Structure 1
Amino acid sequence: MIRPLKLIVLMLSLLLALPAGAATSSPVQRYFQNLQSLRADFIQRVFDEQSRVMQTSSGQMLMQKPGKFRWDYRTPAEQIIVADGERLWAYDVGLAQVTVRKLDRALASTPLALLSGVAPIEETFTVGGVRNRDGLDWYELTPKQPQPEFRLLRVAFKGETLVSLELEDSFGQRTRLDFQKLERNPTLDPALLKFTPPPGVDVVGDKG
């Protein structure tokens, strides 16, 4: 399984965070108000503490409230990750193996209140002021309660468009997602947010 999978889930927790009708005191909150679904191509890069690129991958992501998402990695290796609201499936095409876990167990160390859309961003994060970097407006979200997996989240906008998400851990390593062709609240095919293991692959984990 791809190393930063749990970090990706943390980022998606942010995307699934803000319930409809919440206060909109910052551009971050305004963007996520009434957000129900997303579709985008992405480039994912993992940086070490000296900002050197350790890993690069790309593909397409889908997200839909409540608690459903799909990541199709195309490079450097084909992998499909699907959360169907109950289970998290990870299919490594090259290994012909599927790993499945109950979603609540797979996300045990993530902010589940965010993932469920119960807690507004401002109840879980301190939203910092805007900083311009790479021609983008970046906002830092620092968790109010210490988290074992990360130190802060950053969200970048170009105008009113979400462009990037970045997560930094306590060692200074960063996982960054840059979005392309991003669509806000598209209608998604429900079949894409379900997963059935292909015939002949090994299935390991919590199948019950």
Structure 2
Amino acid sequence: MRSLLTALAVVCSLHITPGPLFAQETPREKLDTLLRDIETLSASVTQLIVESDGAVLEESAIQMHLLRPDGFYWETLDPFPELVVTDGNTLWNYQPDLEQVVIEDWDSTRSELAAQLLSGRTDRLSEEYRIDLTPDADDSEFLFQLHPLDADSVYRVIRISFLQQELESIHLDHKNGQQTLWQFSNQRRNKGLEHKLFEFEPPAGIEIVDNSLSGR
């Protein structure tokens, strides 16, 4: 599960530095604008984990679905199948190779950074990050850089890029030199997703580890 939850966003609202080209719109407000109209989102995700020496430690193919406010589906297809899915109340972590599912109560503060951002929780980042924004000349591409304010943060900087109003990538630069990159493609926005996609029915015969309050 840690491979899917390495970038936990422990976030509160944003302390931001206005960019010179956006006198009437702060970087966080611009980020809000780019994310505001997303009610549902499906995308293919390529995840790269890169060591400090530049070697690729792991490359994963992922399918994600988002249903606001709290429906999130993050399935690693290759090389190590794994599913993390929540309906906003319960979190299921299914690992087919282990024939096991772990059930926990959902805590939005423990979600993937991708889920935090795409769910529109940017207003809770300010106590943790300063945000800078670098647009290109024709405003078709935007690069947001989140600089942790806490000296003990595990991140050096987080970069979020948009191309033609669509999320292009999220890049986590860790202080230990490791880097995590999510690249988004084949995006389908506001096409309608069923709520049952964000619920998980364990297959027969697998081990169920229920750590939720109701299962204790």
Q: Name the TM-score, length of structure 1 as normaliser.
A: 0.77
Does 171-180 or 120-129 show the bigger shift?
A: 120-129
1:7 corresponds in structure 2 to 6
Q: What residue number does 2:18 align with?
A: none
Give, as a single letter, the amino acid of the residue that structure 2 aligns with 1:126: R
1:100-121 alpha-carbon deviations (Å, 9 max, x no partner): 22222982998x9979856616
Unaligned 5+ runs, structure 1: 14-22
Q: Which range moved further: 26-35 or 165-174?
A: 26-35
2:33 to 30, 41, 61: 30
TM superposition shift of 1:147: 6.5
1:24–1:33 contact (8 Å) kept in structure 2: no
Q: CA deviation at 1:129?
A: 2.9
In 2, the alpha carbon distance for the partners of 1:157 and 1:29 equals: 12
Structure exhibiting the larger radius of gyration computed from Cα positions: 2
- In structure 2, the CA distance between the partners of 1:24 and 1:197, relative to structure 1 (3 Å rule), is farther
Number of residue pairs aligned between Structure 1 and Structure 2: 194
Q: State the match for 1:51 in structure 2.
A: 54
Q: CA RMSD in A?
A: 3.4
Q: Does 1:129 align with 2:133?
A: yes
Report the CA distance shift for 1:100/1:151 in structure 2 as closer, same or farther (over 3 A). farther
Helix, strand or coil: the match of 1:63? Answer: strand
Shift of 1:72: 1.8
- 1:72-87 equivalence runs, <5 A: 72-87=75-90
CA spacing shift, 1:69–1:108, aligned 2, 3 Å: closer
> 2-side partners of 1:31 and 1:152: how far apart?
20
1:4 partner SS: coil
The structure-2 alpha-carbon separation of the partners of 1:129 and 1:24, relative to structure 1 and needing over 3 Å to count, comes to closer
* Cα pair distance change 1:157/1:117, threshold 3 Å: closer
Three-state SS of the structure 2 residue aligned to 1:187 is: coil
Q: CA deviation at 1:41?
A: 0.7
Equivalent residue number for residue 93 of structure 1: 96
- Percent identity of the aligned residues? 26
- Is contact 1:4–1:175 with CA below 8 Å preserved after alignment? no
Alignment CA distance shift 1:123-1:102 (3 Å): same
Residue 175 of structure 2 is matched in structure 1 by 170
The offset of 1:162, in angstroms, is 1.2
Task: Report Cα offsets for 1:143-177 as digits up to 9, x if no partner.
Answer: 34466553432111223221111112221211111
Contact kept? 1:127, 1:141, Cα under 8 Å:
yes
The reply on whether 1:197 has 2:213 as its aligned counterpart is: no
